[in-house]
Every structure is written in structure tokens, then in C-alpha cells.
Amino acid sequence: MCGIIGAVAESAIKPVLDGLGRLEYRGYDSSGISILSNNEIQTIKARGKLNNLKQRLSMQALEGKCCIGHTRWATHGKPNETNAHPHQCGQVSVVHNGIIENYLELKRKLVQWGHHFNSSTDSEVVPHLINHYLSQQMTQEEAIEKAITQLKGSYALGILINGSSNNLYAIKQDSPLVISQGNNGFYMASDAMALGADSAKIYYPKDNEIFQLNSHEIKLCGNSINKKIHYINNQNSAKLISKEGHNSFMEKEIFEQVDLLKRLSVNSHANKYSTINFKELKKITIIACGTSYYAASVAKTWFEKYAHILVEIDIASEYRYRSPIVTDNELAIFVSQSGETADTLAALRYAKSKKAQTLALVNVANSTIAREANFTFEIYAGPEIGVASTKAFSCQLAIFYKMAIEAAKQRELINNAELKQLIFSFAQLPYIMEKVLQRCTDMKAMAKKICKYSNVLFLGRGALTPIAQEGALKLKEISYIHAEAYAAGELKHGPIALLDEQMPVLVIAPKNNLTDKLLSNIQEVQARNAPLFIIGDKSIREYINLQEDDFFELPPMPEAILPIISVIPMQLLALYSAQILGKNVDQPRNLAKSVTVE
């Protein structure tokens, strides 16, 4: 969602602008900065991309040692310059990530006190509250403490106050925040990715710890004054993120999957998976959102098939509201690429309150979800910059596959020959994936046809149904083509009413024990003159007459790894369709990489 960053440094505007550039991957509609310059706060904002803000700044000679910046993903109020952050009132300027749930109540109170509001946002109440309490002769710290006691909801705040001492404050409640000590300055941000090479030491604050960043130090203040800051090394500080010759980060990340899977197949992490006592488990519940939910759906198939463990899957935003029954000997797994997904974090806290054993499956080892779960398994996908997830999804699947094998071993439900076959199948993954990617031009030809339509229907069976769902999600995320996915057997229970010459159907059709049933579904599609596209085994062509560019051939492979391989052509289809339609592949409209509000 929104990205925030602040710096106290000799020339603070540069690390803030650099940090905003590193936060672009999160998705945003406007950006802005506030800087203390010549004893006053200067605020500059711009709608659209960060370059628009940089262009405005290039026309002004602004210098200062205290600066905050923001990239906005609209929640309250339309995407425009007025609603862009920072928001300023008097001597206070604020950047905010999160949602102030009681902002209307606070706004009415402030209006009665004589305050005038410019924006439609929830965030603007924060600088007004702080400024109000400053006008009552409170100190800066007292005014901030008093203001945050009025707030309900989630927030990570960067607060700039102009006064006798120019200070930058940072505080959080249920939203991610990181504080950093560098050699050339002090920093705060919503995401460690925003921090540059100078930020070697970082600290993840606890809720309602107030930090003051000044020219000399970072210190805790207010009720937290007696606490110590325990820094850890910032693993992202020296990483340079580039497209490495690809047209987009998404394209690069799709092709990176081969090397990532090679590393995962060599480094088994078997000892780590054995820390979970699968033998005694009665149930696994997997909680996730979006793409991660589809990874959970595939994992359910593996755990139940190979380890005979009952598995429930839940959408994170719904989990705690249905009053789920948490049983003894249950493992609750929380899947989140960023490790900061608000709904998933809230679900984790609910499960912990019910005494569930919790495991985080994340891509960021120091994330909030990772820190709060009983166990953490990292997926080792590396930074994923494209908003639409690709490599994180395949790495999630890979870790789930290995967990299912470990569970089957502990529960003694597969013999040595079956175990060796599953391990061998996993070792083949990167090489089969490479063969699929080598035929990417075939998918370009299919994409040229599909992107002429306004709607697409995806069909799969068994463990490939969630892969069909992921394919539909990817297509609509970045090409804006409306797409839906169903288990193929559900076609005749409603969706078949949509079929005509303008409703193309894409079917994942491997050769397995469901092939005959799937062929019947395909015949139903053809009988209604719907354009048909197939991603599948070459044997399917013996039964279905298709043009060359209506069929994408999957190489022969063990059935166990079909879901991981089958998602690759889905990703390529979405990528090439979006490119043909001229869409921004890495930063699709309205989407955010890290969903940090409910």
C-alpha cells in the first residue's frame, strides 16, 4: 500500500527521493515530500509517477537536514494532488500508511475547534491533532502522545515538526515500520527495501514506541524512554535491483524461477521442516490472500494425498470473522510474500489467541508475520518487484511440496521408492521449467489471439484448478482483461451459459487419470463455438483439432510437479497480453504489492 520514508541527514532530500524510487514497486497514484528548509516546512506533491514530483523539485532549490516522503495508494479520497501526502497543519507535517478508522469523528471534533481541512483523506486528522495539542503549550513529544491516544485503526507515521529543535518522529500501530541507523544519517521507512546502502543497521519497532530522529541520534521517547534499541543487520542494504536486460521486472522474475528452483532443490532445508511434528497433527489450516491462497489450495492436495492430513484453507480476510474452531494438535500456516499482509497478520493473531501452533511462510525473514509466528519458513525468492507475484508463487509451491514430503515421511505413509520418486520429481523441476520458458514465443502467439477478447474463462481439474485460478488472476491483474476460473466439472453448473463466439476458454489439459473427463468438458466448449485454447500434453491433440497457436505444449513430467510447471505458461500469457495491450506490467493500476490495510 502506501510507502513512507524519512531521513535526517546532511542533504536529506536525496535519500528520501531514492527511497521513494525503491518503494515504487508497492503501487501508488501520487507522491510528495516535506522538508525543513530555512526554518519552515516546504511541502511539494504531485499526482502520478515519481518523475512528476522530481520534475517539480528540480525547479526549486530546496535543501534541508530533515525530510519525509510518501507514495500514496488511495483508500480515502480520489487519487489527486490535494489528497497526496504529506499532509500539513501549521508547524506539523505527516506521512501515513494505514487507516484511521475513527477519522470522521475526529474530523468533526477538530472542525468544532476551528480547524479547516483540505483533503478527503483519513490521514489529515493526524497533523491537525498534533498541531492542536502543540497550541496548548504541550511539548512535541506530549502532543504526539496525546494525539495517538485519539487514533483508532492502523498507522505507521513519519512526523515532521518545525520548532526550536528540528526533529523527525516515527511511530506505528499494526502497520509495518523500520528504523535505521546509518553512517551518514538516520532513517525511518515502511519497508526495509526503501533504505539505501547507508542503512546497515535496522530495528523493527513495537507498537506505540515513539522514536525521535535528530542530527545526533535516534532515541526512544515518551513512555518508551527507558527502553533500548536492539539493531540487527539490514540484509537488503547493499542489494541493487535491476531488470538485468529484461523489458520488465515481471519478465525478469518469471525467468529467474529456473535458478531459484535449482537452489531450492540443492538446499533441502530438511532439518528445518522436521522441526514440525507432522506425525501428531490432526489438522492443518492454511490462511492466505490472493495468489498465496492459490498456493495454499495446491498444498491442500499434496498434504492430503501424500500425508493423509486433513487440510482446511481460509481466505485471511474472512478467517477470524467466521469464528473458526481451533483444535488440539492443529498447525495454522500463514502465507504472505511480504510478511506484512494486514488480513493475514490479523488472522495470525487470532489463531495465537486460540492457542494454535503457528507457522509463517514468507519471503521476508524479518517481517511482522515471521516475527510473530511460532515457526518461520522462508521461501527464498529474493526481492520481488513486479506487483503481480510470479517467482514468489512458485517458491511457495516448492516449499509446500517439500513440507508435504516431510509430513509423509514422519507419518510413514510412503515407502522408500515413492519417497525417492517424489524427491527425484522435485529435482527435475528447474530443467522442465527451462524447457517451458524456451518456448515462450509460442505463448506470445497465443497471447496475440487472447488479448483481442474482453473476457476469458479458465478451466482446470484437481490440483490444477487453483493454477487455472492463478492464471485468471494474473491476466486480469496486468492486462485488465476480465477472467474467471472454474473446476472444469463445474462448467455445466452455470458458467456454460456464458459460452459463445466471444467467450474464449483456456483449459489446462495434462495427461493423467482425469484426462477423459476433461476431454468431455472440452467437447462441451467446442459444441458452443467458444474459442478454445489449451495448455497441455501433446496427446490431447489426438482428440482435439486445434490451430498451432491455440495450443501450448507442456513437456512430459511427473504428475506431482504439474502445478508448479503449469503456472509458467499462465504467467507468460498474462505478461505478453499486457505487453501487446501496452499496459504497465510492473505497476498495474489500483494494485499494491504489499496490502498493509484491511
C-alpha cell at 432: 522442465
Task: Give the Å distances, CA to CA, from 265 to 384, 429, 437.
Answer: 20, 8, 19
C-alpha cell at 155: 498507522
Residue among 123, 46, 53, 56 at smallest CA distance from 88: 123
Residue among 388, 382, 356 at smallest CA distance from 292: 388
Residue 516 · residue 542 · CB < 8 Å: no
Task: Find cell 530533515 and name the residue.
Answer: 66
Dihedrals φ, ψ of 137, to 5°? 70, 20
Q: Which long-range contacts (CB under 8 A, 24 or more apart) does 317-322 make?
A: 317/289, 317/343, 317/598, 319/287, 319/347, 319/350, 319/351, 320/346, 320/347, 320/350
Q: What angle do CA 8, 12, 15 make, to 5 degrees?
A: 105
Residue 307 · residue 281 · CB < 8 Å: no
Task: Find cell 504526539 and name the residue.
Answer: 144
Q: Tell me the catalytic residues.
A: 2, 593
Provide CB contacts within 8 A for 159, sequence distance 6+.
68, 92, 93, 94, 126, 127, 130, 144, 168, 169, 170, 171
Alpha helix (H) residue ranges in 480-545: 515-527
Helix (H, G, I), strand (E, B) or coil at 543: coil
Residue 21 · residue 13 · CB < 8 Å: no
Q: What distance in Å separates the CA atoms of residue 13 and residue 16, rounded to the nearest whole number?
A: 5
Dihedrals φ, ψ of 540, to 5°? -60, -30
Residue 34 · residue 553 · CB < 8 Å: no
**How many CB atoms within 10 Å of residue 585?**
22
- On the 0-12 / 13-18 / 19+ scale of CB atoms within 10 A, 269 is middle
C-alpha cell at 546: 486445434
Q: What distance in Å separates the CA atoms of residue 578 and residue 576, rounded to the nearest whole number?
A: 5
Dihedrals φ, ψ of 386, to 5°? -60, 135
Residue among 173, 233, 238 at smallest CA distance from 206: 173
Biggest distance spanned by C-alpha atoms of the chain: 83
Residue 70 · residue 95 · CB < 8 Å: yes
Residue 122 · residue 103 · CB < 8 Å: yes
